[in-house]
Structure 1
Amino acid sequence: MLDSFIPVAGAHFLALLSPGPDFILIARGALLSGWRASVRVCLGVALGNAVFIALAVGGFALIAPGGLLFRAVRWAGAVYLFYLGVRFWRAASAARGGVVGVGGAANAAPGAGFLAGLASALLNPKNGLFYMSLFSVLAARATPTGVQALYGLWMFTVVLGWDLLVARLLIARGRAPGVLRHGPWVERVAAVLMVALGMGVLLA
C-alpha cells in the first residue's frame, strides 16, 4: 500500500501546485473579501474535486480525451471562465473606494463563493482527466477499491487543507496597507487571467 501511496500522493500534491482557475478564485476572495468568503470558495473547490475522485474510484471513465463529454465540459468550462472574467472586470469598473466583494454583486447571495468554487472545479476538464488517469493506474495495479477510497479521502483532505492554507496566507497579505485600496486592480488582473485560461482551454 505504501509503495503506491507515496507516488500517488506526490503526483497529486505537485498537481495542486500548478495554478489554475481555482487558485485565482481563492486568491481573489482572500485578498478582497476575507476568511469566510475564502472558506466557502475552498469548500466548493474541494467538493468539485471530490465528485471527480468518487467517479474515478467507482471506475466511471466519463472524461475521456476527445470524447463528447470531454468536449462539452471543455466548452462549458471555457464559457464559465470568460463569464468570470467579464464579471470581475465589471466589478472593478463599478468599485467605489477600492473595496470589492468576491464575485461582485453576485456574492451578496449566501453560498455564491461556494457555488463559484464548485463550478470552477467541475468545469475544469483537467481535473477529471487527472483523477481518471491516476485511479486507472491504481486499478491496473489491482489496488483494492477500499484502499482507493482511502486515497480519495486523502486527496480531498489535501485539496481542502492546501486551499485553506493558501487563502490564510493571502489574507495576511491582503491586510497589508494599500492592498484593498487597489482592489479594482486585483479584479482586473483576475479578469485577464480568467479570460487567458479560457482561451487556453479552447486552444489546448
Structure 2
Amino acid sequence: MVAGAHFLALLSPGPDFFLIARGALAHGWRRASGICLGIALANGLFIALALTGTSLLRPGGALWLVLQWGGSAYLAWLGWQLLRAPAAAHRDLPMPGWHTALPRWSAGLRMGLASGLLNPKNALFYASLFALLGDAATGVRWFYGAWMFTAVLAWDLAVAVAIGHPRVVARFTRQVPRIERATGVILLLLALGVVLIR
C-alpha cells in the first residue's frame, strides 16, 4: 500500500515534472539529469526526516510557513522567467536565470534541489506515508526509504530520457518557446496554489 501510494504520487505531474521536461527538451536528458538528482536528494532529506521521527513541519508552524512562502516565491520566479524567456527556438536555450548559453549540470542539480526542498507537501507526504508503517522494524522502514529515493530518481531520469530523446527533441524544438510559456503559466498557478494551502 505504501509503495503503491508513493508510485501514484510520482505519476502526478507537479513543478518537478515541468522543470525536468523543460530541461530535457531544451538541453537533452544528460543536462536534465542534474535536475533529477537534485529533486531526488530533496526527497531523500524529507524521507530521512520522516524516518527519524522529526516533525518540524506542521501545517501552520513557522518552518511550514517559511517553506510555503519560499516555495511559492521560487515557483513564481521560475514561472515569470519562463514567460520572459527569449523566443529563439533552438536546442541550447538558456535556463531562466542562468547566464551561460548551455547551463552546467551542477546548476540543474541546484535547481532541482531548490524545487524539491521548497515544497512543503513533500515533507507532509513522506511523514504520512511512514505513519502508515506504524511499528514496522527500523530496517523495514529504512528499506522503504531507500526504495522511495531510488524510485524518485529512476522515474525522473526515465522522464528526462524519454523527453530528451533526440527524436522527441527534434520534433519539439520549434515548440520550446510555447512550452516555456505554458510551463511558466503552470508554475505561476502552482505558486498560487501553494499560497492558498491552508
Q: TM-score if structure 2 supplies the norm length?
A: 0.91
Q: Cα distance, 1:60 vs. partner?
A: 0.2
- Residue 73 of structure 1: aligned partner: 67
Distance in 1 separating the partners of 2:121 and 2:11: 14
Inter-CA distance 165–194: structure 2 relative to 1 (3 Å threshold): same
AA of the residue aligned to 2:108 = G
Q: Cα distance, 1:134 vs. partner?
A: 1.2
Q: Is this contact kept in 1: 2:67–2:120, CA < 8 A?
A: yes
1:61 aligns with 2:62: no
Q: TM-score if structure 1 supplies the norm length?
A: 0.88
Runs of 4 or more, structure 1, over 2 Å off, are 94-99, 101-110, 172-177
1:124 aligns with 2:116: no
- Residue 24 of structure 1: aligned partner: 18
Inter-CA distance 158–183: structure 2 relative to 1 (3 Å threshold): same
Unaligned runs of 5+ in 2: none
- Residue 153 of structure 2: aligned partner: 160
Q: Supply the RMSD in Å over aligned alpha carbons.
A: 1.6
Q: How many residues align?
A: 193
- Residue 193 of structure 1: aligned partner: 186
Q: Cα distance, 1:97 vs. partner?
A: 4.2
Distance in 2 separating the partners of 1:166 and 1:183: 17
Which has the larger helix fraction?
1
Unaligned runs of 5+ in 1: 1-6
Q: Is this contact kept in 1: 2:72–2:192, CA < 8 A?
A: yes
% identity of equivalent residues: 51
Q: Is this contact kept in 1: 2:89–2:175, CA < 8 A?
A: no
Q: Cα distance, 1:137 vs. partner?
A: 2.5
Q: Is this contact kept in 2: 1:29–1:101, CA < 8 A?
A: no
- Residue 3 of structure 1: aligned partner: none
- Residue 8 of structure 1: aligned partner: 2
Distance in 1 separating the partners of 2:25 and 2:163: 6
